[in-house]
Amino acid sequence: MWDLLFGAAYYPEYMPYDRMKKDMEMMKRAGMNTLRIAESTWSSLEPEDGRFDFSYIDGVLEAAKAGGMSVIIGTPTYALPPWLVKKEPEIIVEQKGGRALYGARQLMDIVHPTYRFHAERVIRQLAKHTAKHGTVIGFQIDNETKHYGNYGKYAQELFVNYLRERFVTTEALNQAFCLNFWSNAVHGWDDFPNIKGCCNAGLGSCYAAFLRKLAAEFLKWQAEIVAEYKRDDQFITHNFDFEWKKFGADIAQDGYSYGVQPDLNHAEASTAVSMAGTDIYHPTQDELTGAEISFGGDEIRCLKQKNYLVLETQAQGFKNWTPYPGQLKLHAYSHLASGANGLLYWNWHSIHNGYEAYWMGLLGHDLEENETYREACLIGEEWRRIGKRLSRLKKENKVAVVVDNVSLDALKWYPADKDLSYNDIVRWMYDSLYELNIECDVVDVHSLVPERYRMIVTPALYSVSEETVEALEKFVREGGVLVSSFRSFVADRNLRIYPDRKPHGLNECFGMMYRQFTEPGRTLVEGRQARYFAELLQAQGAETLAPYEHRYWGGYSAVTKNSYGDGNAYYAGTYLEKEQLKKYLLMAAKDAGIKIPAQRWPVIIKSGTSDGKKLHYILHYSEEDREIDCPYEKATDLISGKSYRSGEKILLKDWDVKILEENQENRQAVERVW
């Protein structure tokens, strides 16, 4: 096994002519060691019903073997062949607006029996054909799996069965979701209506969670099939992706990875894989901040509590992603700094026709060397030299950001503001921590183990169980620090709003309560505009860190802090400017005893341990040169070999990277504790 995987998705079946030998030579020259193949071309692998052709797979495997490279095999189940749709048209997913039209990928009904039959057959044939080949190190099941808005008859029948098993009686169902409203109460399971017309937030959210469950089970089903054929030393992975933040146009090539994936619960689905993988795309050029790489890595790393693979990330991408010199290298090390054990570009070459023709690969349409390729060669050379010292980075963060798909659904039904989504609130809090160099885990609410952390942050945790409320109360009482935002602790897991003072169950912990909320309008907080939503907090023992500034709302608190038991609880009742939020996060981190580097973004410091040695990635997201003081008593930059002592100046050039390994004799960091 390689210390760090480095490579690309490779599609010789898309090439305008046969150039596999040259491609392998160029990949080896770039220091690449891994290819990902097969995940998108079912119609090439099975051109006719039951007739399989693995000739191009064999060609890649033999070329990889000759070049000493490894291969990840992807199951091709996310893009349907035309013959299968002709055979069974209803295999195309029925969505809320009607049945989708054939053409794009990811338009299948993942629970349709005919789809499952043919998907299982091609998975078995491919796994059987490739698993014993020595170059194959693992399998990727499906591709960026979701539920695709399935409102088909099979999904709806399964949902009713799920409800019957969960609630047993329709009376319990009606009570859980307040279905008496607008005469939606059901008094016989056979009377359950088509969910397409659902106007009940709780029931609608329940169906969304059920669809995520079906998608997770779909991945587990694929993993079980592959497991029958794979060797013990081969992994099973999946490329989990994120919500896509669009700039405006409704096309894929106009956005980037942004926040929690709405259509698949990563924690639930991750039980299907032995190694977590991810696809992370992000702004670059003047918009490169590193925040998307960091958020994605911090979430994916926590799925298995170990290192992960970046199975897709951009090389050139589309026009506003063509990287400035030095940025491709900065991207690569940013992934490693969050715990990645390697990365693969999407893709090796640019495609000469089709929907993603201008989603540029490492090579352009001329398939020749370019500046981006040459920078990849530099990355490969460095990873050959120091990769062993960077692999299997272990991170032990003491801050957790808690995320939740049900709360995401809730804020679609009950938005705080039409211009503010759940993921906007998540990224508001996460990005503020990131820019302060407060490293954190991004943890699904069901996976949260409070005892691992000193500080827990809950962005808009609208839907919360009594068990979670009790766990967080205990966490603070026993010495932890809790930081929560508006729209937290409002409703139960069925989105039934708790009939008490908010935040539910934590009035004493936060030392405050609120009964009303409002549009901020001209309300100020510390002289700056409050935005989107304002809860009118009434301090009841808590310290008011910032009141609202308004003729009528001025008697209410905007931000509070309360000492409770041995810990502290902070609450922001409105959307603050980032610099304001950062001030309170620093206060909370100080209370939690979190060590924070003196530097701030655009200098990001991420730390961990590899082979017992403390590593610190210094990532510089700016074209402006700057100097920083070495924050460690004695350390050596693994890339350049240069040594530094505490207080010595470290020059950071544009888009620069340093990886400081602390001296083994004395690894005590000289860090400012806020």
Model pLDDT, residue 251: 58
Q: How far apart are CA 271 and CA 151, in angstroms?
A: 25
The predicted-structure confidence for 202-259, as pLDDT tens digits, reads as follows 999 999 999 999 999 999 999 999 999 999 999 999 999 999 998 765 555 679 999 9
Strand 517-518 versus strand 531-535 pairing type: antiparallel
Q: Where are the domains of the chain?
A: 5-78+110-150+219-390, 153-206, 399-592, 603-662
Model pLDDT, residue 40: 87
Cβ–Cβ under 8 Å, residues 343 and 5: yes
Q: Which of 302, 319, 533, 503 is nearest to 414 (CA)?
A: 533
Apex 573 CA angle, 568 and 574, nearest 5: 135
Assigned token pair, 29: 């020259």
The predicted-structure confidence for 265-324, as pLDDT tens digits, reads as follows 999 999 999 999 999 999 999 999 999 999 999 999 999 999 999 999 999 999 999 999
Q: Is 187 exposed, middle or buried (0-12, 13-18, 19+ CB in 10 A)?
A: exposed
Q: What are phi and psi of 278, to 5 degrees?
A: -155, 160
> Do 399-592 and 5-78+110-150+219-390 have the same topology in CATH?
no
494: Cβ–Cβ under 8 A, 6 or more apart, which residues? 176, 177, 202, 205, 206
Secondary structure percentages of the chain, helix, strand, coil, to 5: 35, 25, 40
**pTM of the shown model:** 0.97
Model pLDDT, residue 568: 98
52: Cβ–Cβ under 8 A, 6 or more apart, which residues? 45, 46, 122, 125, 129
Model pLDDT, residue 405: 98
Q: How far apart are CA 618 and CA 636, in angstroms?
A: 12
- The list of the chain residues with pLDDT below 70 reads 1-2, 248-253, 664-674
Q: Which of 631, 639, 582, 573 is nearest to 607 (CA)?
A: 631
508: Cβ–Cβ under 8 A, 6 or more apart, which residues? 564
Q: Which of 328, 270, 334 is nearest to 303 (CA)?
A: 270
Model pLDDT, residue 669: 42
Model pLDDT, residue 674: 32
Crossing angle of helices 201-227 and 153-167, in 10° steps, is 110
Cβ–Cβ under 8 Å, residues 428 and 458: no
Model pLDDT, residue 254: 77
The predicted-structure confidence for 244-261, as pLDDT tens digits, reads as follows 998 765 555 679 999 999
Give the position of tokens 């760090």: 4
Classify 315 as helix, strand or coil: coil
201: Cβ–Cβ under 8 A, 6 or more apart, which residues? 410, 413, 414, 495
Q: Is 512 exposed, middle or buried (0-12, 13-18, 19+ CB in 10 A)?
A: buried
Model pLDDT, residue 204: 98
Classify 440 as helix, strand or coil: coil
Q: How far apart are CA 408 and CA 460, in angstroms?
A: 9
* 399-592 belongs to CATH 3.40.50.880: yes
In the chain, the amino acid numbered 547 is P
Distances (CA, A) of 583 to 433, 572, 579, 599, 657: 10, 12, 6, 15, 27
Model pLDDT, residue 667: 43
**Which own/partner pairs from 351-356 qualify as long-range (CB within 8 Å, at least 24 positions apart)?**
351/11, 351/14, 352/14, 352/16, 354/14, 355/104, 355/252, 356/252, 356/253
Strand 455-458 versus strand 481-485 pairing type: parallel
In the chain, the amino acid numbered 489 is F
User: For every residue of 348-397, which 3-state class applies, written as one string?
Assistant: CECCCCCCCCCCECCECCCCCCCHHHHHHHHHHHHHHHHHHHHCCCECCC
Model pLDDT, residue 248: 62
E strands within 255-365? Answer: 255-259, 277-280, 308-314, 340-346
Report the CATH architecture of 5-78+110-150+219-390.
Alpha-Beta Barrel (3.20)
Burial 417-438 (b: 16+ CB within 10 A, else e): eeebbbbbbbbbbbbbbbbbbb
Crossing angle of helices 327-337 and 291-304, in 10° steps, is 30
Cβ–Cβ under 8 Å, residues 29 and 64: no
Classify 259 as helix, strand or coil: strand
Model pLDDT, residue 412: 98
Model pLDDT, residue 253: 64
258: Cβ–Cβ under 8 A, 6 or more apart, which residues? 242, 243, 244, 245, 292, 423, 427
In the chain, the amino acid numbered 73 is I
Q: Which fold has domain 603-662?
A: Immunoglobulin-like (2.60.40)
